[in-house]
Structure 1
């Protein structure tokens, strides 16, 4: 009887690299990460391999070189028109303690002429309020393709496009969260992608230690970026805490510490009422936490565009005061 050994699947090598025990396992090189993500995007991987790969990465914790290699593969497959963008603003976490005040910061910046692309992965965790759920109430354009993004930016300097509309395989991986029981590294990776090559990418990474990894990945990619531990995982400066900015520009890393803006911590609201968000935008309601969160988040974006901290806060206040006149 002639027994033939079946050939090994080409993707198996990458699972083996990550999962070969405490002494045998290692990080992927940037080139290996690029090849592995390319196979995932081109649907050349079995579902069992996909799940194993994502969870091994999650357990090991991804490296900057891996994140850069994954991004290389994604950008190589992107078909995007030339659209001028100032700020790339990924929004994938959702909020559960406070309202998404970062959306008002983005709206005010856009009203003053800053061109902002937002992108997100949809509601995937119960009990959180996601950007996609409040776009209509805040008059933020929901775009389904890059042409719509270009038109929205031309008309109002602000656009949101779901990840599933420009990189469906990544959205599928994010949607595995409830199947696998854990978030995969794709949730973090989406924050680095900067699909339209904006002048600055803002990133929020909640878990300690990951901020420096993300900053290094952006540096390897040649991007300008600021990474913070944003409130709830979103790009929103927490005014009740000290905020550390991990920045990179022109291949050089920099760090900046922003002190807390409030002497006492604010009490979180009992419910997340979007109507309060709208009222604050119109100037019909006052909220000390919201005011500080919005202004400091606007200053963060301006800092990313090169404005020094003190001037960024003063400029943020001026732009916020003029937000309704600009419309």
Structure 2
């Protein structure tokens, strides 16, 4: 089916237009990813979806089609997307949480793009998380340290081109959500952060359509999967393939925001291995790791995260 046909389905008017089915969304994404896709039709389709509001079936179809354009990647346990623009985020503490999860024996794949914000990419180096662009390099990194990061601009150039249409259109499109749902290695568990709370249920429903087993979505620091210790955090997603939601209580009374933390304290942590980290930052790292471990099925994610933290501090002091 042509891309114009999908635009027509979405834009016929109030009485005749409708949402795309999952199969139609797969077909539409395949067409948009082609180099010869008409830019006018791509822009029209994305903006019609924005005005209408995307359905779970549309997001699932788009994500499945986009993933089909990737090469076969090594298996991982946990998918961890990072696509926030960073305007309201402090240091990327969630990277340290992801590394803790890997140290617990789980294979973790981070992937993303954060616009012009340099914090995440700089944080990867500070945290010792390798950036890889080929399946072979990914396999080596996972075997050596259990964690790696795939940059979207190198590993899925066509999807990256669609994501960057935000600069042309002046508005966010559903491609931001599709990237979070990409799950390049087909992990059965994923953790995701959003900036707008309404997307939590959309992504959870799309994951159910795709047949995922475990997912946790939160409104996190600057839109990342990063749990604040200063307030209750509502999480949505899946457990055992079924709809799940839970509220995680604040762990500290300190009324600080995640954006109040800075890159200098993050760098100090990376140098010290954690010994120089304050209580608030420690709670960010362990709390985020705990929810990720819970997503992976840990019996007590909080206890496991705190134990991992204590071991790290003791090893640093030794």
Instruction: Output the TM-score relative to the length of structure 1.
Output: 0.88
Question: Is the contact made by 1:94 and 1:234 (CA closer than 8 Å) also made in structure 2?
Answer: no
Output one character per residue of 1:109-152: Cα deviation in whole Å (capped at 9) or x when no partner.
Answer: 2233221100002424xxx4442233223221010111111110
1:54-65 residue pairs with structure 2 within 5 A? 54-65=46-57
1: CA distance, partners of 2:18 / 2:139: 42
The root-mean-square deviation of aligned C-alpha atoms, in Å, is 2.1
Q: Secondary structure at the match of 1:89?
A: strand
Count of residue pairs the alignment pairs up: 311
* 1:297 lines up with 2:288 in the alignment: yes
Q: Secondary structure at the match of 1:16?
A: helix
> Could you say which residue in structure 2 is the equivalent of 1:254?
244
Q: Secondary structure at the match of 1:322?
A: helix
Question: Is the contact made by 1:120 and 1:132 (CA closer than 8 Å) also made in structure 2?
Answer: no
CA 1:264/1:138 → structure 2, altered by over 3 Å: closer, same or farther? closer
> Could you say which residue in structure 2 is the equivalent of 1:286?
277
Question: Is the contact made by 1:300 and 1:312 (CA closer than 8 Å) also made in structure 2?
Answer: yes
Question: Is the contact made by 2:134 and 2:155 (CA closer than 8 Å) also made in structure 1?
Answer: yes
> Could you say which residue in structure 2 is the equivalent of 1:177?
166
Deviation of 1:94 (Å): 4.1
Q: Secondary structure at the match of 2:126?
A: coil
> Could you say which residue in structure 2 is the equivalent of 1:244?
234
Deviation of 1:270 (Å): 6.1
Select the residue among 105, 126, 129 that pairs with 1:137: 126
* 1:157 lines up with 2:149 in the alignment: no
Deviation of 1:269 (Å): 6.2
Instruction: Output the TM-score relative to the length of structure 2.
Output: 0.91
Gaps of 5+ in 1: 1-8
Q: Secondary structure at the match of 1:136?
A: helix
Question: Is the contact made by 2:80 and 2:190 (CA closer than 8 Å) also made in structure 1?
Answer: yes
Select the residue among 7, 14, 23 that pairs with 1:15: 7
Q: Secondary structure at the match of 1:228?
A: strand
> Could you say which residue in structure 1 is the equivalent of 2:76?
85
Select the residue among 307, 311, 314 that pairs with 1:318: 307
2: CA distance, partners of 1:42 / 1:26: 24
Deviation of 1:278 (Å): 2.5
Q: Secondary structure at the match of 2:68?
A: helix
1:92-241 residue pairs with structure 2 within 5 A? 92-95=83-86, 96-124=88-116, 128-224=117-213, 225-241=215-231
> Could you say which residue in structure 1 is the equivalent of 2:16?
24
CA 1:267/1:171 → structure 2, altered by over 3 Å: closer, same or farther? closer
Point out the structure with max Rg over C-alpha.
Answer: 1
